[in-house]
Amino acid sequence: MNKSFKILTVFVFCLNSMNMVAQHKEKQIELLHLNIKEESLSTILDDIILHEKKCSYYDCGLLFLISIKKSEENFLISIESQKDINVLLPLSSYGYLYHQNHLFILQGDRCEDIFSTCGETRAFKYLDYNHPDFQPKGEGKKTIYVFNDDSFSQWHYWYVNAKFVLEEKSTSCD
């Protein structure tokens, strides 16, 4: 009986440990497949990828987020590199494209002058790191387990009168 009790205890402990690790909920999002309509953006993305290849964190699986924010008649376009798709997909993402075999996720406002849709969608699976089921109940501070890793490069452009104007870039690998 003593041996059976020990085996059962170890088994229950292992199950409990696995449950503690799996505290992120798997989700799925449908994104529109997009094409680059404004050819000057292709050149910008080529330059950004060339720059990123010099960075110590670069690998062929590096991802990019393109955030678009409309400001009157202009658009602020932010492009940043990232390694974790689970950080990118929950950010009000609506589309994706591939450029030089790198996945670019789009979020924010839509700009038909820069991107066109292919009419296709694709499902992307990701882990929701901050799912409400795993947050503390009740009032007070909630612990957020994901942080924005600013060691990756960020590029900010204004799209004004059908032209891209670099506002600033932030990179740790010049």
Q: Is residue 140 in some structural domain?
A: no
Whole-number pLDDT of residue 27:
86
Give the model confidence (pLDDT) of 21-57 as tens digits.
455 678 888 999 999 999 999 999 999 999 999 999 9
* Alpha-carbon gap, residue 159 to 156, rounded angstroms: 10
Q: Is residue 69 in some structural domain?
A: yes
* Alpha-carbon gap, residue 128 to 50, rounded angstroms: 31
Q: Is residue 60 in some structural domain?
A: yes
Q: Is residue 48 in some structural domain?
A: yes
Structural domain span for residue 43: 26-128+151-170
Q: Is residue 59 in some structural domain?
A: yes
Whole-number pLDDT of residue 12:
62
Q: Residues in the chain with pLDDT < 70?
A: 1, 4-24, 130-150, 174
Q: Is residue 4 in some structural domain?
A: no
The CA–CA distances, whole Å, from 131 to 43, 97, 107, 136, 145 equal 38, 27, 20, 11, 10
Give the model confidence (pLDDT) of 157-168 as tens digits.
999 999 999 999
Q: Is residue 15 in some structural domain?
A: no
Q: How many CA atoms lie within 13 Å of 104's alpha carbon, on the beta-carbon side?
A: 23
Q: Is residue 135 in some structural domain?
A: no
In total, how many domains does the chain have?
1
DSSP letter (8 states) at residue 172 = S
